[in-house]
Amino acid sequence: MSGSLRKPEPLIFELSRPGRGATAQHPAAEPGGEVPAGYRRRGLPPLPEVSELQAVRHYTRLSQLNFGIDTHFYPLGSCTMKYNPRACNALAMLPGFLGRHPLADAATGQGVLGCLFELQEMLKDVTGMAGVSLTPMAGAQGEFAGVAMIRAYHRARGDLTRTEIIVPDAAHGTNPATATMCGMKVREIPTRPDGDVDLAALDAALSPATAGIMLTNPSTLGVFERRIVEIARKVHDAGGLLYYDGANLNAILGKARPGDMGFDVIHMNLHKTFSTPHGGGGPGSGAVGVGQWLLPHLPVPVVGREGERYRWLDERDLPDTIGRLSGFMGNTGVLLRAWVYMRILGAAGMRRVAEYSTLNANYLLARLVEAGFEAACPGRRASHEFIVTLRREARQLGVTAMDFAKRLLDHGYHAPTTYFPLLVPECLLIEPTETETREELDGFVEALIAIRREAATDAAAVKAAPHTMPVRRLDDVRAARQLDVAWKPEVA
């Protein structure tokens, strides 16, 4: 509860007093745990010393400073902030699942392995792919796995010249960053004003050096790439493979499948499309799917079934794997949440995700355009998200997308994604998701209209927003210049 006379919540270190502690959490002191002198730490580590109540109260209060899906409409474009069903969390955290050591005998893990196997099968179906590996721990690691498989594929065929990955300028930053991590060169190609890929530029970019192309479809501009089949043909003809960045899979789930479009490899963001919670930054899961020809390169482990029994397949089963991306099996707990989600939604529910997220996006777009806001790709259908450009408002009122975003917080709405994709000036990338009501969307439209009205009469108020958050606008420049990234005990 903000707005009180209470001071800002101190750091946990500031609550600390020497000799205090949540001692119920201390195991009994026992003899025998000595460390030889040369290896020993001098003194105790500088951790806070607080009571259990202090810790509980501190983190409860801190949590209240956050917006989350559970508290606010959170139309953060490209992030699919839909309801994270509580059942997914509750069931993934059953003691039998939580307590299992990853290296324990597979005989003691048939329950979890069964769930993961089913998840692999379901994800194959929704993507139209021949095989799935669940191990990548987020979208970006899925991308890494994908590009690494593309690389492995070419190498396995003895084709060592393919060192370029084509990436549209609208692509998410992880796409080019991933290509670099895989040792590839990035070739950027422009996007047309209508949001589709510039085919001429694509033609120009394709060459014997082309390893592949990374595409998001629907793109980060919120539109479906209509000539995807043609693009696939062109890339394949050039000897390259197609990578599908699945961050926007929500928009077509159960309606259309990347595999059918000609993609060779795909990652899914289970923390987006399959609604595992984002946890203020993670964990996610970037499960990958591949066509037949990439199956040998899937990252391990993968769950295999032999008769009635499940077991991990590893390097010994898949000698041409790109290898292992995590110490054990990726973010298993996230995978269990996705399994619960898919089982509750079922096949028909998958399709509804696409239908209603698209309905919400197009409705919101229609209402905003009616209200005089400018769509970035006018005349196009929105996918599950769309872009509004506030360049006119910026020019006429001097109020930027950032200002709108901050003022929205005061209205009780999380801001859309701002300034991404970079090619659209003053852009708001808005993704309402299928789990929001029409009333919530209407309220959001009214808030944007109110802010624009306010900007016309009192631009300063908008530019100084937010006014009702726990802090006012923060000095990011100072944060970077006078770097303060770890608390240091005061010198007494």
Ligand X SMILES: Cc1ncc(COP(=O)(O)O)c(C=O)c1O
Q: Which residues in 377-416 contact a copy of itself (CB under 8 A)?
A: 409-412
> Which of 117, 290, 417, 451: binder of another protein (CB under 8 A)?
417
From 59-67, 124-132, 211-219, 290-298, give the range in contact with a copy of itself by CB under 8 A: 59-67
Contacts of 401 (CB under 8 A, 6+ apart): 390, 394, 418, 419, 426, 427, 428
> Which of 131, 286, 330, 416: binder of ligand X (CB under 6 A)?
286
* Smallest distance from another protein to CB 427, Å: 14
Map residues 309-348 to x or -, x wherever contact with a copy of itself holds by CB under 8 A. Answer: -----------------------------------x----
From 118-126, 137-145, 307-315, 360-368, give the range in contact with ligand X by CB under 6 A: 137-145
Q: Burial-class residue 269 by CB neighbours within 10 Å (0-12, 13-18, 19+).
A: buried
Query: Any contact of residue 155 with another protein (CB under 8 A)?
Result: no
- Please state, in angstroms and as integers, the Cα–Cα distance from residue 414 to each residue in 30, 379, 405, 406, 409, following that order: 51, 27, 8, 9, 5
Query: Any contact of residue 139 with ligand X (CB under 6 A)?
Result: yes
* Smallest distance from another protein to CB 136, Å: 9
Residues 248-267 touching ligand X, rule: CB under 6 A, are none
Query: Any contact of residue 70 with a copy of itself (CB under 8 A)?
Result: yes
Q: What sign does the dihedral 392-393-395-400 (CA atoms) show?
A: negative
> Which of 161, 180, 292, 468: binder of a copy of itself (CB under 8 A)?
468
Q: Pick the closer one to ligand X by CB: 430 or 462.
A: 430
The residue count for binding a copy of itself (CB under 8 A) is 44
Q: Binding partner of residue 3 among a copy of itself, ligand X, another protein, none, CB under 5 to 8 Å per kind?
A: a copy of itself
Q: Pick the closer one to a copy of itself by CB: 24 or 486.
A: 24
Across-strand partners of 197? 191
Q: Burial-class residue 409 by CB neighbours within 10 Å (0-12, 13-18, 19+).
A: middle
> Of 233, 235, 182, 167, whose CA–CA distance to 207 is shortest?
235
Could you give phi then psi for residue 84, rounded to 5 degrees?
A: -95, 100
Query: Any contact of residue 269 with another protein (CB under 8 A)?
Result: yes
> Of 414, 374, 413, whose CA–CA distance to 396 is shortest?
374
Could you give phi then psi for residue 215, rounded to 5 degrees?
A: -130, 145
> How many beta carbons lie within 10 A of that of residue 29, not counting itself?
6
Query: Any contact of residue 281 with another protein (CB under 8 A)?
Result: yes
* Smallest distance from another protein to CB 41, Å: 5
Q: 302-326 b/e with 16+ CB inside 10 Å = b?
A: bbbeeeeebbbbeeeebeebbeebe
Query: Any contact of residue 148 with another protein (CB under 8 A)?
Result: yes
Give the separation between CA 415 and CA 207, rounded to whole angstroms.
Answer: 41
Query: Any contact of residue 210 with ligand X (CB under 6 A)?
Result: no
- For 60, left (φ over 0), alpha (ψ -120 to 50), or beta? alpha
Map residues 72-111 to x or -, x wherever contact with ligand X holds by CB under 6 A. Answer: ------xx--------------------------------
The residue count for binding ligand X (CB under 6 A) is 14
Map residues 212-251 to x or -, x wherever contact with ligand X holds by CB under 6 A. Answer: ----x---x------------------------x-x----
Give the separation between CA 160 and CA 140, rounded to whole angstroms.
Answer: 24
> Which of 13, 293, 320, 392: binder of another protein (CB under 8 A)?
13
Query: Any contact of residue 59 with another protein (CB under 8 A)?
Result: yes
Residue type, 101: H
Give the separation between CA 249 and CA 120, rounded to whole angstroms.
Answer: 16
Q: Binding partner of residue 245 among ligand X, a copy of itself, another protein, none, CB under 5 to 8 Å per kind?
A: ligand X
- Please state, in angstroms and as integers, the Cα–Cα distance from residue 451 to each residue in 44, 363, 400, 408, 463, following that order: 53, 20, 11, 8, 11
